[in-house]
Amino acid sequence: MGLELTGVIPPLVTPFTASGEIDEAAFRQIIRFNLDKGVHGVCPGGSSGEGHTFTLEEFKRVMEITVEEVAGAVPIVAGIISNSTRDAIHRARAIQHLNVAALQVTPVHYLFKPDEEATYKHFKALTEAVDTPVIIYNVVPWNYLTPAQLIRLMTELPGVQGVKQSQGDLKLMADLLLGTPAGCKIYSAIDALLYSSFALGAHGTIAATPAAIPGVCVKLWETVQAGDHAKAFEMHKAMLTYWNTIVADNLPANIKTSITLQGCDAGLPRAPMPATTEAQLARIRPALEAVLRFEK
């Protein structure tokens, strides 16, 4: 049986205080905000959640809080951003007692790029060490895994049951979908082209846009599933306009700003990431207002 996980799965932002600590009360509100929007799953610890900054203890605590707040309402995908096989296994084992549906795991992403065989051994060791299904988070620009490589991993390693495709070339997404083994899932993180991804048959999305406007993304998913491509295309144009206002090196900060503008305090980014600038805010606010009308 394959991974039963489809639809809109926002990578939850992590609210930080001015001193850089996790604001647990605010994080609980973020989870509730997403659940209230009808999302199909949640993913703490991803890039939008600044999971690359987590200590092991913070990683465990964020997962524990998520499990408590979700209380079985939707599946949870735990984001693991790690630079070694040992650390990835250590983090996966630290939460294996929790109700987590899958692990979203990056390839090694520091300066030294492992070759294809080393990457294969990395995911082989991880999937043999834990029972939780793995979704490969194909996000690292200098270590993008090709469709052929990803299909090999899903085919030969039973524990690899999906891919979160962040590489912006939609042709690569299409090639990946064409060869995906039965039971495996492909999730789009091509934020500018979520509509196109859904129309091509992506099984869902785990991406920055759903983190910022989960309700709109749920409506887009439902609209495409219903076959209303005229409406979906109108939504796409507003969503792309909005995306162009938040995409930047401080993207997580801009996602938080967007959530706060919707009435849910999302806290601050963790230093040294800068907060949303006044110039960014001036662009984000009208584009956000325009896209949120599709949530109705």
On whether the CB atoms of residues 76 and 67 are closer than 8 A, the answer is yes
Residue 187 annotated as catalytic: no
For residue 269, which of 277, 87, 70 has the smallest C-alpha distance? 277
214 prior amide bond cis, ω within 30: no
- Interacting residues of 198 by C-beta distance below 8 A, sequence separation 6+: 188, 205, 220, 221, 224, 225, 232
Q: Which of 120, 137, 195, 242 is catalytic?
A: 137
- Interacting residues of 61 by C-beta distance below 8 A, sequence separation 6+: 22, 24
Residue 137 annotated as catalytic: yes
Q: Which of 37, 164, 185, 219 is catalytic?
A: 164
For residue 252, which of 58, 105, 45, 87 has the smallest C-alpha distance? 45
The amino acid at residue 122 is H
First CA to last CA across the chain, in angstroms? 36
Q: SS3 for 269?
A: coil
Positions annotated as catalytic residues are 137, 164
